[in-house]
Amino acid sequence: MLKRTLIEAANAAASEMLRFKDLDFKVSNKEGINNLVTEADHASEAAIISVIQKNFPEHQILSEECGELIQDSRYKWIIDPIDGTVNFAHGIPLCCISIAVEHDNKMVLGAVYNPFMNEFFIAERGKGATLNDKPIRVSKKEKVINSCLVTGFPYTYLDEPNGPLQVFERFIRKGIPVRRLGSAAIDLAWVACGRFDGFFEHKLQAWDSAAGFILVEEAGGVVTDLKGQPYSPYQPGIIASNGVLHDELGRWVRNEI
């Protein structure tokens, strides 16, 4: 029932994204000059929440736009109705719905769905991860120098030592390809299916990473915080990888190489 509801919610949100694709919709700013929210974000969120509350009215919900709907429940749905809103607002098809289910503070289900590329990723704790119902696994690259990585940058720059631009420059100066897609959920899903060997970012919210987190783990990868400690979506920094090069990637990010 949980997984069926997850799939139904993601499909409902996808219908809203596709409906707004060719419409003139309102765009406004949140914190940061290009931290956008659109009518489509709100419509997608409403569609997801409607499906969840129809099936599990007692469950908690944490969503990017409406915040936290607190209930006395051991289950929490963590939602990003459109991850990659800037891309969506500019007609760039690198955007997705991200929905995760947490039970007793542990992620048990996750879905990342990009309807524009027809890519539907699902992970279930202990049962692996799939892309369009086919099993996926992380890559087998062993060295960072031979890897293809992906990252993102915060809307408000983190003015701290070894910040996002410094880390990015470190890789680029060594000739290591680092991409920036504009959607952390897609970044993590693409690590899970082996397109990228690793992902790192300094500042994410729970709704950005919760679904991608379980995707990577269930595809055989490793996810930690920036210090290499066990990952929680409720703290900002993340390193995700195929596991084989994870320790080395962490040292690169922390400037310990």
CA 212/CA 214 separation, integer angstroms = 6
Q: How big is the CA angle at 221 (ends 84 and 115), to the nearest 5 degrees?
A: 30
| pLDDT tens profile 169-211 | 999 999 999 999 999 999 999 999 999 999 999 999 999 999 9
- CATH classification of 2-135 is 3.30.540.10, yes or no? yes
pLDDT of amino acid 70:
85
Share of residues in the chain with pLDDT > 70 (%): 94
- Hey, do 2-135 and 144-253 end up sharing a CATH topology, with the first three levels equal? no
Virtual torsion, Cα 31, 33, 37, 38, nearest 10 deg? 150
The C-alpha atoms of residue 168 and residue 106 are separated, in whole angstroms, by 31
Phi, psi (degrees; rounded to nearest 5) at 227: -90, -5
- Token representation of residue 126: 């202990």
Question: Which pLDDT value is given to residue 116?
Answer: 96
Residue 61 has pLDDT above 70, yes or no: yes
**Is residue 101 pLDDT above 90, yes or no?**
yes
Catalytic residue among 38, 85, 151, 224: 85
- Identify the active-site residue in 16, 64, 187, 197: 64
- Among 80, 124, 197, 218, the active-site one is 80
Q: Is 208 a catalytic residue?
A: yes
In Å, the largest CA–CA distance within the chain is 52
Query: 83, 124, 187, 217: which is the annotated catalytic residue?
Result: 83
Residue 225 annotated among the catalytic residues of the structure: no
Element (H, E) at 140: none
- Grouping H, G, I as helix, E, B as strand and the rest as coil, residue 114 is strand
Beta-bridge partner residues of 197 = none
User: C-alpha 169: how far from its chain's center?
Assistant: 23
Q: What dotted CATH number matches 144-253? A: 3.40.190.80
User: What is the residue extent of each domain of the chain?
Assistant: 2-135, 144-253
CA-to-CA dists, residue 133 to 101, 128, 130, 257, angstroms: 19, 11, 5, 39
Active-site annotation holder among 48, 52, 82, 214? 82
pLDDT in tens, 17-57: 999 887 566 565 655 555 555 788 899 999 999 999 999 99
Active site residue 64: yes
How far from chain centre, in Å, is Cα 52? 20
Nearest to 86 by CA among 42, 31, 44, 29: 29
Burial of 132 (0-12, 13-18, 19+ CB in 10 A): exposed
Q: Residue 4: what pLDDT?
A: 98
Residue 41 appears among annotated catalytic residues? no
85 noted as active-site residue: yes
83 is catalytic: yes
DSSP secondary structure of 197-218: SEEEES---HHHHHHHHHHHHH
pLDDT score for 161:
87
